[in-house]
Amino acid sequence: MRLWLYLTLVVNSIILLAFIGYGGYTASKQTASLTKDLENDTRTMARSISAGSADDLLLASFDKIENLLLRQVTLGSVRELVVADSNGRILVQVERGSNDQPRSVYEHVSQPLDLSQSEVRTLATYTLLFPIERGERLGWVRVTASLSALETVRREIWVDALLASLLTVVVTGGLLAVSLRKTTAALGQATEFAGDLIQQRGVSMPMSSRIVEIQQLRRALNSVAQALSTQFLALQDSEAKQQRIAAMMRQIAKDLAARQFALDQSSIVSITDLQGNITYANDRFCQISGYALDELLGQNHRLIGSGSHPPAFFEDLWQTISAGRVWHGDICNRNRSGALYWVNATIVPLQGEDGQPEQYIAIRTDVTTRKEAENAMMLATEVAEQANKVKSEFVSTVSHELRTPLTAISGALGLIMGGVLGEMPQQAREMIALAHKNSQRLTHLINDLLDMEKLAAGKMDFDIQTQPLMPLIEQALEENRSYGIERGVMLALTGAAPDAEVSVDSQRLMQVMSNLLSNAIKYSPDQGTVEIAVEQQDALVRVAVIDRGQGIPTEFHARIFQKFSQADSSDTRQKGGSGLGLAITREMVERMGGEIGFESVEGEGATFFIELPLRNAESPSSIIDPKMFTAQDAPRILVVEDNEVSHKVISAMIGGRFDIDLATTLSEARTRMALERYDVVILDITLPDGSGWDLLEEIHTWQPATRIVIFSGTEMTAAEARKVDTVLLKSQTSKDQFLDAINSRIQPTKIKGPHS
Amino acid sequence: MNKLQRILYVEDEPDIQAVAKLALEMVGGFTVKICSSGEEALREVEAFAPDMILLDVMMPGMDGPTTLEKLRQLPALAQVPIAFMTAKVQPQEVAHFKSLGAIDVIPKPFDAMTLSNQVQALWSAAHD
């Protein structure tokens, strides 16, 4: 309902009720006054009739009484007059008939008057009973007056009141409606304005009323509108921001979920509070520990402690993580059924706003298999080392014990041979010479055995110095020239590399050259020449020792650098070699970073050559000085390889140049990659928990800058090889090729020789 | 002391003693005294007053390095060069012996005919 209509109805109803109340009051007041007058008039008439009819009653002159009554009955409001005797028996009764004509009534005279009530009021009449006395009660007068006049008066008053009220209602209602509609129209405008505010259509409300309150309302609404408008703009801005943040959060949540999924697939994850009480554990944790989640939550992490680490181990761990640093290491745990298992754990403290650790998150990988293999390997290594030590001591002792008598024998023979003790018969001289030659051969054999033993045990020290090559070659030539002369063989140096500098142990290089030269002299024909050809190539220098002997049979080529190998056993005795010389020579050359090889056609002589990297040239990429890298930029390499032997081969080839981490399974590799960034991943294809190819996509996604080198035992197809940076075959890869493959994966600007 | 004449050789092995004595005396023309142990050498050395001392390394009782250390404590021998004669000739072993005060190491088995020249060369180098 509209406000103006409502107010109008309420006001009019009030007015109406007021008039009705006033009419009722006035009507009742008026009629009460008239009733009083009528009762007084009636009483006066009754008294008058009583006085006028007493005598006639005594005389029983009822005609006179009737006349009196007939005169009186048309006065005022009288309707009926009755005179009765003292017992109430009606004597005369007259009434006002139609047209106000008096008439006597005779029909009911036999019915006596009711004397019990002196007055009776009905809606239409008023009846008064009045005694007639003359000293004594003679009879009764009853006057009945009509009240219809009163009713007429009352009705008139009501009609007036109603008419007045209706007139007032019409006039007031109209006025009210008009004025209220104007006022409430302002409210309508305010309402409309509020609607506009919501839709941002208006910014101010038009002035439309003279009413102070409406004006105040308008001003208030305009202020509200302005404030709202400002807030709305801020809200829109903040909504846009929130949408952007929400989009970012969704992306982060997605990334995190993906990472957590990946982590959960492979890793054993738990979170503890500062006291080590478990607050979270993933499925893998429950699985490996054998405990249900509700058995773990709230329990201290010591629950899975194995007791196999010394207290200092955990002191170090707690000191590290409580200082806010990451701890990394292998831990032995005990599962619910008491079995031990090993995990490789990384414990990361999560810090609060104050920088203090709030909780610790531990990510572990099951390395039980690896650890058991390591332990078995360690045991085997210990046994082997022990055996090796015993062997070394044995060889050393035997050698020394052999040398002592040899020293005496060869010394004595040497003196005799030298003629110090005088001349001898020819045959005796020949036999002594034979004994002397064989004592020397025995000496060489013992020396070679000791060298071989030392090389095999890694106990031969190399004093590597960068130095010019040519003086060493010339010295070697000089030292072996006498042996050549003895055998009638000439030594000739051809070619030169005057500026070549190499990093070698000069004594060992001398030993190498002596071995090659003595071999060449030994196998040269009488009056032959052994050529020493020196040639400088791009990044290396090649020293070749060329003889014109019988050459090396083709079937022997593959075994030539093996121990105790000579073309045939009879040859060994004939040429006085131990069969260890070339094996030792190769070992020494490789230990000095060089390579050895040979070329030979049977019957046309042999060429043995060594190649040494040049130190003063632009270094080849394989020669990397680990000092070139600082701790921060040292390249990180992840080796994913389950084969222990291959791992050792890789470690040996990398040789401490770079920091390497090892993963023996795909899952271990995933964990490593979730925790650290690597420059190179060296990947085997056949792994216990899947194929190395499975890891490619994850590497590309997580660490797109990482280069992948496949190091496999089997050949790849061209399509497979295109998926990675380099493919190397285990059986065909040299150390240099391997290092080249890694180096070309690491920023090339850093790979420079120390002199460049 | 401008000529090498008197050599003290400390060696426990009689056969080697004999060969070395012969080689040094007959080939080199030196006066040679042989001691069979470090203890004996310490007793005899001052009386003999050698120009040079040759020491075996592995000997029962006092070994070569210990003997060297004790000999070096004798003021009279301050200027006398001492060399080892041993089969232990790995580079780090040689370096160790030199650090103890030996002038050099003559490897065993030695060449009897050239031993005198070797010893003479070492002595000369020490007196340069």
DSSP letter string, A282-323: -HHHHHHH---HHHHTTSBGGGGB-S-S-HHHHHHHHHHHHT
Pairing of strands B31-35, B82-86: unpaired
Q: How many CB pairs under 8 A join A and B?
A: 71
Rounded distance between C-alpha atoms, residue A694 and residue A265, angstroms: 14
Q: Is A415 on the interface with B (CB under 8 A)?
A: yes
Q: Please tell me the predicted confidence (pLDDT) of residue A629.
A: 42
Contact (CB<8Å) A410/B109: yes
Contact (CB<8Å) A417/B113: yes
Q: Give this prediction's pTM.
A: 0.41
Q: Please tell me the predicted confidence (pLDDT) of residue A621.
A: 41
User: Residues near A339 by Cβ (< 8 Å), separated by ≥ 6?
Assistant: none
Chain B residues touching A507 at Cβ < 8 A: 91
Distance from CA of A406 to the nearest CA of B (A): 7
Considering only CA atoms, give the Rg of chain B: 13
Contact (CB<8Å) A461/B22: no
Q: Please tell me the predicted confidence (pLDDT) of residue A200.
A: 63
**Across chain A, how many H-helices and E-strands are there?**
18, 25
The nearest alpha carbon in chain A to B89 belongs to A447
Comparing CA positions, the residue from A152, A174, A171, A167 lying closest to residue A19 is: A167
Distance from CA of A280 to the nearest CA of B (A): 58
CB A462 within 8 A of CB A508: yes
Contact (CB<8Å) A415/B22: yes
User: Residues near A124 by Cβ (< 8 Å), separated by ≥ 6?
Assistant: A146, A147, A148
* Nearest-by-Cβ selection for A461 from B13, B18, B92: B92
Nearest 5 degrees, angle CA A740-CA A743-CA A748? 120
Q: Is A408 on the interface with B (CB under 8 A)?
A: yes
**Residues found in chain A:** 756
Rounded distance between C-alpha atoms, residue A688 and residue A665, angstroms: 6
Q: DSSP letters of A165-229?
A: HHHHHHHHHHHHHHHHHHHHHHHHHHHHHHHHHHHT--SSPPP----HHHHHHHHHHHHHHHHHH
Q: Is A507 on the interface with B (CB under 8 A)?
A: yes
Rounded distance between C-alpha atoms, residue A77 and residue A144, angstroms: 9
* Nearest-by-Cβ selection for A415 from B23, B90, B91: B23
Q: Please tell me the predicted confidence (pLDDT) of residue A355.
A: 80
Contact (CB<8Å) B112/A414: yes
CB A450 within 8 A of CB B107: no
CB A137 within 8 A of CB A86: yes
B9, B12, B16, B105: best mutation site toward chain A, by most A Cβ within 10 Å? B16
Half-sphere exposure of A141 (CA within 13 A, CB side): 26
Rounded distance between C-alpha atoms, residue A108 and residue A103, angstroms: 14
Q: Please tell me the predicted confidence (pLDDT) of residue A750.
A: 33
Q: Is A459 helix (H, G, I), strand (E, B) or coil?
A: coil
B9, B11, B15, B57: best mutation site toward chain A, by most A Cβ within 10 Å? B15
Record the tokens describing residue A409, joined without a space: 């024998």
Contact (CB<8Å) B113/A414: yes
Q: Is A414 on the interface with B (CB under 8 A)?
A: yes
User: Would residue A419 be called left, alpha or beta, if left means φ above 0 and alpha means ψ between -120 and 50 degrees?
Assistant: left
Angle at which helices A506-523 and A581-591 pack, to 10 degrees? 150
Residue type, B26: M
CA distances from A209 to A177, A337, B96 (A): 16, 89, 117
Q: Which residue is listed with tokens 């030298």?
A: A418
Distance from CA of B78 to the nearest CA of A (A): 30
Give the least confident one: A232-236, A395-399, B72-76, B80-84. A395-399
Residues 448-487 of chain A with CB under 8 A from chain B are 454, 460-461, 463
* pLDDT category of residue B43 using cuts at 50, 70 and 90: very high
Rounded distance between C-alpha atoms, residue A382 and residue A370, angstroms: 18
Contact (CB<8Å) A461/B90: yes
Residue type, A51: A
Containing A438, the helix (H) or strand (E) segment is helix A426-456
Containing A333, the helix (H) or strand (E) segment is strand A327-334
CB A54 within 8 A of CB A132: yes
* Nearest-by-Cβ selection for A507 from B23, B91, B115: B91
Distance from CA of B60 to the nearest CA of A (A): 14
Contact (CB<8Å) A403/B19: no
Rounded distance between C-alpha atoms, residue A140 and residue A81, angstroms: 11
Contact (CB<8Å) B109/A411: yes
CB A620 within 8 A of CB A744: no
Chain A residues touching B90 at Cβ < 8 A: 454, 460-461
Half-sphere exposure of A27 (CA within 13 A, CB side): 20
The nearest alpha carbon in chain A to B108 belongs to A407
Contact (CB<8Å) B16/A418: no
Chain A residues touching B110 at Cβ < 8 A: 407, 411
Contact (CB<8Å) A415/B26: yes
Q: Is A85 helix (H, G, I), strand (E, B) or coil?
A: strand
* Nearest-by-Cβ selection for A403 from B18, B87, B92: B87
B24, B90, B94: best mutation site toward chain A, by most A Cβ within 10 Å? B90
As a three-state string, the secondary structure of A623-684 is CCCHHHCCCCCCCEEEEECCCHHHHHHHHHHHCCCCEEEEECCHHHHHHHHHHCCCCEEEEC
The nearest alpha carbon in chain B to A406 belongs to B109
Whether residue B109 is preceded by a cis peptide bond, meaning omega within 30 degrees of 0, is yes
The nearest alpha carbon in chain B to A441 belongs to B109
- Across the beta sheet with A357-366, what order do the strands follow? A278-281, A268-272, A357-366, A340-351, A327-334
Rounded distance between C-alpha atoms, residue A188 and residue A181, angstroms: 10
Rounded distance between C-alpha atoms, residue B119 and residue B127, angstroms: 13
Q: Please tell me the predicted confidence (pLDDT) of residue A573.
A: 41
Give the number of other Cβ atoms within 10 Å of residue A218's Cβ: 21
User: Residues near A126 by Cβ (< 8 Å), separated by ≥ 6?
Assistant: A35, A38, A39, A42, A119, A120, A144, A145, A147
* Nearest-by-Cβ selection for B108 from A403, A461, A507: A403
Contact (CB<8Å) B109/A443: yes
Any idea of the CA torsion for A615, A619, A620, A626, to the nearest 10 degrees? 90
In chain A, how long is the greatest CA-to-CA distance? 233
Rounded distance between C-alpha atoms, residue A579 and residue A604, angstroms: 22
Q: Is A411 on the interface with B (CB under 8 A)?
A: yes
Rounded distance between C-alpha atoms, residue B16 and residue A108, angstroms: 197
Q: Is A412 on the interface with B (CB under 8 A)?
A: yes
Q: Please tell me the predicted confidence (pLDDT) of residue A678.
A: 84
Q: Please tell me the predicted confidence (pLDDT) of residue A564.
A: 64
Residues 31-90 of chain A with CB under 8 A from chain B are none
Q: Please tell me the predicted confidence (pLDDT) of residue A513.
A: 93
A393, A415, A441: best mutation site toward chain B, by most B Cβ within 10 Å? A415
Contact (CB<8Å) A407/B22: no
A407, A448, A450: best mutation site toward chain B, by most B Cβ within 10 Å? A407
Q: Please tell me the predicted confidence (pLDDT) of residue A203.
A: 63
Q: Is A406 on the interface with B (CB under 8 A)?
A: yes
In chain B, how long is the greatest CA-to-CA distance? 35
Rounded distance between C-alpha atoms, residue A86 and residue A180, angstroms: 74
Whether residue B37 is predicted with pLDDT greater than 90 in this model: the reply is yes
Q: Predicted ipTM? A: 0.83
Q: Which residue is listed with tokens 């271990």?
A: A668
Chain B residues touching A443 at Cβ < 8 A: 109
Distance from CA of A581 to the nearest CA of B (A): 17
Whether residue B81 is predicted with pLDDT greater than 70 in this model: the reply is yes
Intervals of chain A under pLDDT 70: 108-110, 198, 200-203, 205-209, 564-578, 616-634, 655-657, 731-732, 743-756
Chain A residues touching B87 at Cβ < 8 A: 399-400, 403-404, 407
Within its chain, how far is the Cα of B100 from the centroid? 14
Contact (CB<8Å) A463/B113: no
Record the tokens describing residue B98, joined without a space: 């030199």
Among chain B, residues having any CB pair with chain A shorter than 8 Å are 13, 15-16, 18-20, 22-23, 26-27, 58, 87, 90-92, 108-113, 115
Q: Is A405 on the interface with B (CB under 8 A)?
A: yes
Q: DSSP letters of A683-724?
A: E-SEETTEETHHHHHHHHHH-TT-EEEEEESS---HHHHHTS
Q: Which residues pair with A330 in a beta bridge?
A: A344
User: Residues near B81 by Cβ (< 8 Å), separated by ≥ 6?
Assistant: B52, B53, B103, B122, B123, B126, B127
Q: Is A396 on the interface with B (CB under 8 A)?
A: no
Rounded distance between C-alpha atoms, residue A624 and residue A655, angstroms: 11
